[in-house]
A and B are shown apart, each in its own frame.
Chain A
Amino acid sequence: GIQVEQSPPDLILQEGANSTLRCNFSDSVNNLQWFHQNPWGQLINLFYIPSGTKQNGRLSATTVATERYSLLYISSSQTTDSGVYFCAAKAAGNKLTFGGGTRVLVKP
């Protein structure tokens, strides 16, 4: 099956800083999503982005499908951005595969 790898595994930011999270995947995808898991464990969908670029407030994401990677940008980070960010990708079939996540801590 498809392999999904995220980097870095951990990220510590000062409030106001910008950062980039990376997701590499091993196969052509027809579905790629970014999720945020808050400190209480709730998983929220951030982006559905199998290709192209999208922006939502201070967050944006870019997927370069031909090179098999996706990037999540956090600008002007806030303490509420803390948590774990997961990338999930699906190739053929119906199984969405998650990466190991990037744990983000934003310090005030």
Chain B
Amino acid sequence: NAGVTQTPKFQVLKTGQSMTLQCAQDMNHEYMSWYRQDPGMGLRLIHYSVGAGITDQGEVPNGYNVSRSTTEDFPLRLLSAAPSQTSVYFCASSRERDGKNIQYFGAGTRLSVL
């Protein structure tokens, strides 16, 4: 199993550009989430999904869109990048099993918006 795979690892954008951060998992997990981590801070939830076709907003959803057309993939779209979106983005997946719901993280995407 590859686990949770994020691409790209690094990206530099200009203000106003759009892009999609990719996230894929091969563990058949129903739950998937996107977080952002700013320097010296914890992770803040952007959007999450409890299954294909179902998404919901997290703590900081503005400026981001998501969709979940398949169980495996959960892309995050930046519609019009702003310098405030410079951050490290983490995708995570999990499933409910034996009363546990443990999150597994991808390696992260480091995004700079100039």
Interface of B is mostly: strand
Q: In this complex, what residue of B is CB-closest to A30? A: B101
Provide the residues of chain B in CB contact with A45, threshold 8 Å. 102-104
The listed residue (A31, A48, A94, A98) touching B43 by CB distance below 8 A is A98
- The yes or no answer to A83 lying at the interface (CB within 8 A) is no
Provide the residues of chain A in CB contact with B31, threshold 8 Å. 94
Interface residues on A, range: 20 to 34
A43 and B33: CB pair below 8 A?
no
Provide the residues of chain A in CB contact with B34, threshold 8 Å. none
A42 and B107: CB pair below 8 A?
yes
A-B contact count (CB 8 A): 48
Interface of A is mostly: strand
The listed residue (B33, B41, B108) touching A96 by CB distance below 8 A is B33
A33 and B103: CB pair below 8 A?
yes
- The yes or no answer to B74 lying at the interface (CB within 8 A) is no
Interface residues on B, range: 20 to 34
Q: In the complex, A86 Cα to B40 Cα: how many Å?
A: 12
Provide the residues of chain A in CB contact with B52, threshold 8 Å. none
- The yes or no answer to B42 lying at the interface (CB within 8 A) is yes
Provide the residues of chain A in CB contact with B42, threshold 8 Å. 86, 98-101
Q: In the complex, A41 Cα to B58 Cα: how many Å?
A: 22
Q: In the complex, A90 Cα to B92 Cα: how many Å?
A: 15
A95 and B88: CB pair below 8 A?
no
Those of B36-57 within 8 Å (CB) of chain A: 41-45, 48, 50, 56
A96 and B104: CB pair below 8 A?
no
- The yes or no answer to A88 lying at the interface (CB within 8 A) is yes
Provide the residues of chain A in CB contact with B48, threshold 8 Å. 94-95
